Amino acid sequence: MTPCPTCRAEATNPLVCTACGGLLSGDRAPTPFEVFGLVPALELDAAALKRRLLELSRRMHPDYFATADAATRELAERNTAELNLAYEVLADEPARADWLVKSLGGPDENQERKMPEAFLIEVLEWNEALEEARAADVGSSARAALANLARELGTRRDEALARLRAELEPTPERNSPRLVEARRQLNALRYVDRTLEEIRALEVGRPAART
């Protein structure tokens, strides 16, 4: 990183100078790990990440630049948006893994979409259970069955996450074949999470159209 243009201190963060508090603007958007000063890796201390988010927010949030000139206000908006985006990626394990796989030259979700047939059959069964529950009344057996399905999916999720960790820890080499397997686990996770989300939406009710 280049030194801070204001105080010439060695920059330790790409968005804000931790020495003088000045906002920084680079040629390219920093990566999520750079924003938090971390070496890219799947394993991460969630509590420390949140502490760092609050600490960095306290340095660059637009609320603290409301009396500054328009360009500085705009930079505070932009850098805080970068910070929030980086946190969103890092705080969620599958999102973090997805970023790692892509940055290491692994396939994205469109390049590697093959799933074992047995798994796809299972997904179809989940969808059927969902459809049935959707058509049934609250309190019916079809609705009760969803609670069991949610528990089962919770276990499946843990298993997929464990396999994902096995592929990404320690962090693979660029273009390693382990990245393809990691992508498959991420795809499986996506199916599971989407179904879990649908179950949750059924439990809490759908938001109204045109709020």
Partner 1 sequence: MGFLQLNVLNQPEPLPAVGIDLGTTNSLVAIWENGRPNVVRPEGDNGYVPSCVFFPTDGPPIVGKEARERAVFEPERTIFSIKRFMGRGLADVAADLKSMPFPASSGRNGVIEFDVRGRKLTPQEISALVLEKCGEVAARASGGRALAKAVITVPAYFDDAQRQATRDAARLAGIEVLRIVNEPTAASLAYGLDQKKQGNVAVYDLGGGTFDVSILAIEDGVFRVLATNGDTHLGGDDFDRMLVAVASTELSHSVDPRKLDEPAFLQGLRLAAEKCKIELSSYPEAEMHIQIPDSNAQWRRRFTREEFEALSRPLIERTLDSCRRALSDSKLDASQIDEVVLVGGVTRMPAVRAAVEQFFGRVPHTQLNPDEVVALGAAVQAHVLSGGTREVLLMDVTPLSLGLETVGGAMAKIILRNATIPCQATEGFTTYVDNQTAIDFNVLQGERELASDTRSLGRFRLSGIPPMPAGLARIAVRFHIDANGLLTVTAKEQSTGASAHIEVQPQNGLSEADVQRMLAAAYANAKDDFAARRVAELETELGTMLRATEKGLVDARSQLDRETILDIEDAMKSAREACSTRDAQVLQRARDAFEKATMPLAAVLMDNFAKKALTGKIIGEM
Tell which one of 57, 72, 127, 176 touches partner 1 (CB under 8 A).
57
Task: Give the count of residues interacting with partner 1 (CB under 8 A).
Answer: 28
Q: With binding defined as CB under 8 A, does residue 110 bind partner 1?
A: no
Angstrom CA distances, 148 to 58, 119, 126, 190, 194, stand at: 43, 18, 11, 19, 16
**End-to-end CA gap in the chain:** 45
Tell which one of 27, 28, 67, 69 touches partner 1 (CB under 8 A).
67
Residue nearer to partner 1 on the CB measure, 57 or 171: 57
Using the contact rule CB under 8 A, the part of the chain among 62-70, 96-104, 128-136, 162-170 near partner 1 is 62-70
* 130, 198 contact by CB (below 8 A): yes
Closest separation in Å from C-beta 66 to partner 1 = 4
Task: For the segment 113-172, give every residue that binds partner 1 (CB under 8 A).
Answer: none
* 31, 14 contact by CB (below 8 A): no
Compose the 70-109 pattern: x for residues touching partner 1 by CB under 8 A, - for all others.
Answer: -------xx-xxx-xx-xx---------------------
List of long-range contacts for 138-144, beta carbons under 8 Å, 24+ apart: 143/202
Residue nearer to partner 1 on the CB measure, 73 or 163: 73
Q: With binding defined as CB under 8 A, does residue 48 bind partner 1?
A: no
Angstrom CA distances, 5 to 2, 19, 26, 34, 66, stand at: 8, 12, 11, 19, 22
Pair of tokens at residue 58: 């306290």
The length of the chain, given as a count of residues: 211
Angle at 68 between CA 64 and CA 72, to 5 degrees: 90
Tell which one of 10, 43, 63, 131 touches partner 1 (CB under 8 A).
63
Residue nearer to partner 1 on the CB measure, 13 or 79: 79
Could you list the residues that contact partner 1 (CB under 8 A)? 54, 57-58, 61-64, 66-67, 77-78, 80-82, 84-85, 87-88, 200, 203-211
